[in-house]
Chain A
Amino acid sequence: GAGVSQSPRYKVAKRGQDVALRCDPISGHVSLFWYQQALGQGPEFLTYFQNEAQLDKSGLPSDRFFAERPEGSVSTLKIQRTQQEDSAVYLCASSDYEKLFFGSGTQLSVL
């Protein structure tokens, strides 16, 4: 079956621009996670949704980062006024409670 799909695959933004990253989870998965992965590092947790409820946003680095999942399926991670330090791969994962299934990520480059 289809896995976790993320779009766009690559995004180049000028500093100060807003960006929106999309995640389509595996159908029926209640849990959805966002991670940020800097070059050469392991993924770092950003936020977690259970259906449409955002239960943990402790990993969001600043109030410029905002995530939503309004209908409990597709999720969007929005970054306002992007900065160079936001350059990273953003990974989405959905879970069947036992395992997390990751998408291929969106590579964001802020110039």
Chain B
Amino acid sequence: DAKTTQPTSMDCAEGRAANLPCNHSTISGNEYVYWYRQIHSQGPQYIIHGLKNNETNEMASLIITEDRKSSTLILPHATLRDTAVYYCIVRKNAGGTSYGKLTFGQGTILTVHP
């Protein structure tokens, strides 16, 4: 799976949008961009994923550049409960010879301040 690069840490004020960048310049055509987050003492939690189109759900929005070499996760109105480690992962979905393993990097520590 392609490697991703994320900033080590970021800060955000409560109520403001948090924009978390991710570089994945070696992504292949059949690889998806996934975002997970891990709140202290919990297991990773799925946020959103996409292939090449922008995606939005109740948690966040995902913006993928046209060349697919980078993406941005947007939390539109960050709250204190959004403080967590955010992982950007490139993954092949299960099927064929792939079983969809997630390979985690170091992630971005997002701290939301009051």
Q: Which residues of A contact B (CB under 8 A)?
A: 4, 31, 33, 35, 41-45, 48, 50, 55-56, 91, 93, 95, 97-105
Q: Which residues of B contact A (CB under 8 A)?
A: 41-46, 49, 85, 87, 93-95, 99-107
| Also in contact, A42 and B104, with CB within 8 A (given A93-B43, A102-B43, A104-B41) | yes
| Interface SS, A side | strand
CB <8 Å contact, A104 and B43: yes
Partner of B43, one of A42, A56, A91, A97: A91
10 contacts between A and B (CB under 8 A): A4-B43, A42-B106, A43-B102, A43-B104, A44-B104, A91-B44, A97-B93, A102-B44, A104-B41, A104-B42
| Also in contact, A42 and B100, with CB within 8 A (given A97-B94, A104-B43) | no
CB <8 Å contact, A31 and B49: no
Give the A-B pair count, Cβ closer than 8 A: 58
Name which residue of chain B comes closest to A43, CB basis.
B104
| Also in contact, A99 and B43, with CB within 8 A (given A42-B87, A42-B105, A44-B104) | no
For residue A51, give the distance in angstroms from its CB to the closest CB of chain B.
12
Determine the chain B residues whose CB is within 8 A of the CB of A98 once the complex forms.
49, 93-94, 100
Determine the chain B residues whose CB is within 8 A of the CB of A43 once the complex forms.
44, 102, 104
Q: Give complex CA distance A33, B103 in Å.
A: 12
CB <8 Å contact, B99 and A50: yes
Name which residue of chain B comes closest to A93, CB basis.
B43
CB <8 Å contact, A97 and B104: no
CB <8 Å contact, B102 and A100: yes
Q: Give complex CA distance A99, B107 in Å.
A: 18
CB <8 Å contact, A97 and B95: yes
Please indicate which of the listed interface residues A41, A55, A100 has the most CB atoms of chain B within 10 Å of its own CB: A100
CB <8 Å contact, B99 and A99: no
Q: Give complex CA distance A94, B38 in Å.
A: 16
